[in-house]
Amino acid sequence: MQSAWFRPESPTETLELRFPPYQVRIAGGNLRKLAVAFQKQAVESVRISTKSERMSQGDGPTWIASIEVEEDKQDAGADESAP
C-alpha cells in the first residue's frame, strides 16, 4: 500500500487506498478502525456488508456499502513502457 486517505463525511465515510497501479475506494460507516488496520497492515480481507448487517449496526461496528477498484492509467502506462 502506497497511501491511504480517510474521509469521515457523514452519513457515509470513505476510505481511499492506493496500491499502484490501483486506487481502491471503500464506502461505509465507522471506517476509522479499518483505516488504522490498513495502516498497520493487519487487514486480511474486506467484503461488502449485507443490507441487514448495515441496518442492524447503526453507529456500532464497521460496515461497508461498496468497494470500487480503478486502475490508474498513468501508473499502468509506466509499467508497460519499462524495458
**Mean pLDDT score of the chain:** 83
For cell 470500487, the residue is: 68
> What pLDDT does residue 82 have?
47
Locate 46 and state its grid cell. 474486506
Spatial distance between the Cα atoms of 59 and 79, rounded to a whole number of angstroms: 42
Q: What is the mean pLDDT of residues 68-78?
A: 76
Rounded to an integer, the average pLDDT of 61-80 is: 79
Q: Which residues contact 43 (CB under 8 A, 6 or more apart)?
A: 34, 37
Q: How far apart are CA 62 and CA 38, in angstroms?
A: 13
- Predicted model pTM: 0.76
> Whole-angstrom Cα distance, residue 56 to residue 61?
10
Where does the pLDDT of residue 60 fall: very low under 50, low under 70, confident under 90, or very high at 90 and above?
confident
pLDDT score of 10: 74
Question: 52 pLDDT band (50/70/90 cuts)?
Answer: confident
